[in-house]
Structure 1
Amino acid sequence: MKRNQIAAVVVLIALLAWGVVDAYVLDKGAENAATSGANSSVPIGLEKGNLAPDFELQQPGGDKVKLSDFRGKKVIVNLWATWCPPCRAEIPDMQRFYEANKANGVVILGVNLTATETKPEDVEKFVQAYGMTFPVLLDGEKQVSDMYKAISIPTSFIIDSQGVIREKYIGPMSYEWMEKTLGRVQ
């Protein structure tokens, strides 16, 4: 059993390291994606200062949600999966942060990498079990995970009220990190 735990830690470290490479190297060549209502003077892409690529996904209840619907609010786009231990670790802090800040124009969009789930129908049970009240979106076709180049998870993008990416964070976010980072974002 100890050997399996060591192997799991090594795999997790490798995934996080690959995510760092993704954040600093691969994103430099990110292609533009279509965004409705985009400010043409700001390029669309995944680097800090780029307009976040728009997307539309469905919630477990069936409603569709677009990222651009939240212009005027600060948004955390969080890519996650139910099987991911670091994702599970950050959910309580994300939920607490959302409840404390939603009245101040902060939104968390939890983009579940549904295509990677063993049983996609279990996502809704997971959301209920963890008491997640922020919008959870289902990425069953890998649309957003491919567009946002989510190689390791959790990966989060902090987007300002104008739709511009201000931070990319790989790994589990803490309440304190979200508070400090979103406090600097307009």
Structure 2
Amino acid sequence: MKKWISAIVVLIAVIIIGTIVYENVSSPPVGVNQGEQAPEFELPDLDGENLSLSDFEGDFVVLNLWASWCEPCIREFPVLDQVHETYESDGVNVVAVNMTTTERRPEDAMEFLDENPVTMPIAFDEDGEFADVYPPTDGMPTTYFINEEGIVVDVHHGELTEDMLEDRLQPFL
């Protein structure tokens, strides 16, 4: 009888462990993933007007998540702005979303932008709802590449260099 009870306990344990392993291996990563439709968002911009993904319908969008305290974000910021200026007429828009809820002080992002003016559109995730949909799961910066049909064609975690951006954009130009 003890052997049967032991066997049943082991079987139950194997089933539970197997289920946990299966769920962790088969579950897609958290957030928006490559190949998925990019979720719509509406966020305030520098002027307090609403900026949304649908504002760029039919264009290729480089959606960058950043914060003023993030050193890699600061280093890639001028590169992103240059790409926006270079390719905007070709239908490529870089949109930088400040993850405002991660800032030490809400005004830090504006102070950074005053010292580092850019031409690319800037939006602010003031309440964290954008981060719930587009989470910077591996830290910041995180950049989503969204094609003209609104499909996420690439996600990059970490700093992007000019060469990396060019390589990712070339197939879509």
- Letter of the aligned partner of 1:159 in structure 2? I
% identical equivalent positions: 33
Report the Cα offset of residue 52 of structure 1.
0.4
The gaps in structure 1 that reach 5 residues or longer are: 1-24, 31-44
Counterpart contact for 1:115–1:139, Cα < 8 Å: yes
Post-superposition, which runs of at least 4 consecutive aligned residues in structure 1 deviate over 3 A?
A: none
Classify the secondary structure of the residue corresponding to 1:184: helix
Distance 1:27 1:51 in 2: 18
| DSSP 3-state at the match of 1:128 | helix
Which structure is larger by alpha-carbon Rg, 1 or 2? Answer: 2
Q: Distance in 1 between matches of 2:27 and 2:49?
A: 30
Matches of 1:89 and 1:168, distance apart in 2 = 19
Instruction: Write the letter of the residue equivalent to 2:167.
Output: K
Would you say 1:157 and 2:152 are equivalent positions? no
Q: Distance in 2 between matches of 1:81 and 1:48?
A: 23
Q: Given the alignment, which residue of 34, 37, 43 partners 1:48?
A: 34
Per-residue deviation at 1:27? 7.7
Contact 1:79–1:145 under 8 Å retained in 2: no
Count of paired positions:
148
RMSD: 1.9
Which TM-score applies when normalising by structure 2?
Answer: 0.79
State the TM-score, normalizing by the size of structure 1: 0.74
Deviations 1:135-186 (A, max 9, x none): 1111011111121121310000000011000000001111111111111136
* Residues 27 and 46 in structure 1, CA contact (< 8 A), matched pair in contact too: no
Structure 2 residue identity aligned to 1:147 = V
